[in-house]
Amino acid sequence: MGLPQAKLTATEARLAALDMPKAPGWSSLARAAALARVESMGLPGRRDEYWRFTDPAELLAPAPVPAALFRGEDKPVFDDMDRVKLVFVDGVFDAEASDDPALAGVEISRLAEAQALDIHWAADLYGVLEARAQEPVERPFAALNTAFATDGVLIRATGRAEKPVNLVYLHHSESSDAVLHHVIKVEAGADLTVLENGPAAARFNKVMEVDIADGGAFHHVRVQGRDHERRAATHLFARLGRESTFKSFTMTANGALTRNECIIELTGDDAVAHVAGACVGDGSDFHHDDTVFITHDAERCESRQVFKKVLKNGATGVFQGKILVQPGAQKTDGYQISQSLLLDEDSQFLAKPELEIYADDVACSHGSTSGAIDETALFYLRSRGVPRSEAVDLMVLSFLAEAIEEIEAEAIREEITERLAQWLARHRR
């Protein structure tokens, strides 16, 4: 490895603490290739440009920092929905707590079981989008995940799914270190919704690869809440065919360290990709990073990034977002907005919005702002009798609304809004 000594040492130490799953079957080639990628890239360090705002040390240490378990009482967010629930406890599948996967009306199997079977459609996808996304920016944690994932789900939708698939990640052990890898194939014209919630583990490395064929639609809503001390590095890779749709929304509340990367390739004409995030953070031990990379490689595609962060008491928010428009991707419509609402002077927002355009007939806009609560609006609410703390909460929800509105299902939108309102009420200073 031609890596700097410090990086080499850190990478070797991390790899020494991991075991390749036994009987990886068809996944073994992909795993070996991914391991080779990790060895040649090395794990990231603070000096790497892509990790300038987020220190990866706790994500790559041989052992996770122990995380206290959530002691609150609130009901998991999607519990009232009609969905097929698949439960992982500290990264280990819990069949008893899960629903019968057949009820979703799509093919669902577990990585740990399916990789032992001879032929599987997932063999053509596992680690493939991850490998493609290593250019032009390296994503070593994703390659590490492909090499060492212990389990995950493989979902193939060939028609309209009857119910959403809800991946529930429970955290029961204070020092758990979970690595899950999901592979999702939405066939032509099919329609699938995947919901994710729960802290998962003290440290969670998760990859989801989503391949959407022509005319397919994929909806994704994720809630990262509850445990204050958990740490996570997640990657969501998506490839979109002609006239397909991808919509992803993530709500993040709590968590000591979260790095959510979303990498989308628009490869078929007239495809639409929306990715949004609403994040609320309280305290100097909160660090949240949204890193997005969208590549337009076809004509008349639309991409939209809407990221909103509310930060208080020394919390840190990061946004790195890029729109890359390849030669020939004419009539691209790209939009990116990243905003933070800083509720005090101790909190900070670090943003790096980027556009790189090699086609001449495109419309791309981006904006990034950081500001305090609008005092005039606050006075307006108070002058109607709304107490200051409630008025601030209303203003915060108002600020987050543009991101929340990206969720298409009204019931989920309302549930997320309600959860955020409850969080705000609990975190009045």
Partner 1 sequence: MLEIKNLRASLEEEGKEILKGVNLTIEAGKVHAIMGPNGSGKSTLSYVLSGRDGYEVTEGSVTLNGEDILGMEAEERAAAGLFLAFQYPVEIPGVGNMTFLRTAVNAQRKARGQEEMDAASFLKEVRAKAKELKIDAEMLKRPVNVGFSGGEKKRNEILQMAMLEPKVCILDETDSGLDVDAMKLVADGVNAMRSSDRGFLVITHYQRLLDHIVPDVVHIMVDGRIIKTGGPELALEVEKSGYADLIGEAA
| Residues that bind partner 1 in the complex, under the rule CB under 8 A | 374-377, 379-388, 390-391, 394-395, 397-402, 404-405
Which of residues 36 and 377 has its CB atom nearest to partner 1 in the complex?
Answer: 377
Smallest gap from Cβ 398 to partner 1, in A, equals 4
Task: Quote the DSSP letter at residue 429.
Answer: -
CA gap 254, 198 in Å, rounded: 11
As to burial, measured by CB atoms within 10 angstroms (0-12 exposed, 13-18 middle, 19+ buried), residue 196 is buried
Beta-carbon contacts of 116 under 8 Å, excluding residues fewer than 6 positions away, are 23, 25
Q: Token pair of 261, please?
A: 């990367």
Residues 338, 370 contacting (CB under 8 angstroms): no
Smallest gap from Cβ 72 to partner 1, in A, equals 25
Which of residues 35 and 404 has its CB atom nearest to partner 1 in the complex?
Answer: 404
Q: Token pair of 371, please?
A: 């500001």
CA gap 220, 127 in Å, rounded: 20
Smallest gap from Cβ 375 to partner 1, in A, equals 7
Smallest gap from Cβ 62 to partner 1, in A, equals 44
Smallest gap from Cβ 373 to partner 1, in A, equals 12
Q: How many CB atoms lie within 10 A of CB 347?
A: 24
Smallest gap from Cβ 391 to partner 1, in A, equals 8
- Helix (H, G, I), strand (E, B), or coil: what is residue 124? helix
Which of residues 240 and 337 has its CB atom nearest to partner 1 in the complex?
Answer: 337
Q: Token pair of 75, please?
A: 């009901």
- Helix (H, G, I), strand (E, B), or coil: what is residue 380? helix
Smallest gap from Cβ 307 to partner 1, in A, equals 15
Closest CA to 275 of 225, 216, 337, 324: 337
Which of residues 388 and 426 has its CB atom nearest to partner 1 in the complex?
Answer: 388
Which of residues 108 and 276 has its CB atom nearest to partner 1 in the complex?
Answer: 276
Smallest gap from Cβ 216 to partner 1, in A, equals 30
**Angle made by CA atoms 33, 232, 403, in degrees to the nearest 5:** 110
* Cis before 140? omega within 30: no
Which of residues 5 and 383 has its CB atom nearest to partner 1 in the complex?
Answer: 383
Residues 179, 146 contacting (CB under 8 angstroms): no
Task: Please name the residue that has the structure tokens 């008491």.
Answer: 313
Beta-carbon contacts of 83 under 8 Å, excluding residues fewer than 6 positions away, are 163, 164, 165, 166, 195
CA gap 272, 263 in Å, rounded: 14
Residues 146, 181 contacting (CB under 8 angstroms): yes
CA gap 85, 201 in Å, rounded: 18
Which of residues 361 and 375 has its CB atom nearest to partner 1 in the complex?
Answer: 375
Smallest gap from Cβ 340 to partner 1, in A, equals 16
Which of residues 68 and 377 has its CB atom nearest to partner 1 in the complex?
Answer: 377
Which of residues 70 and 249 has its CB atom nearest to partner 1 in the complex?
Answer: 249
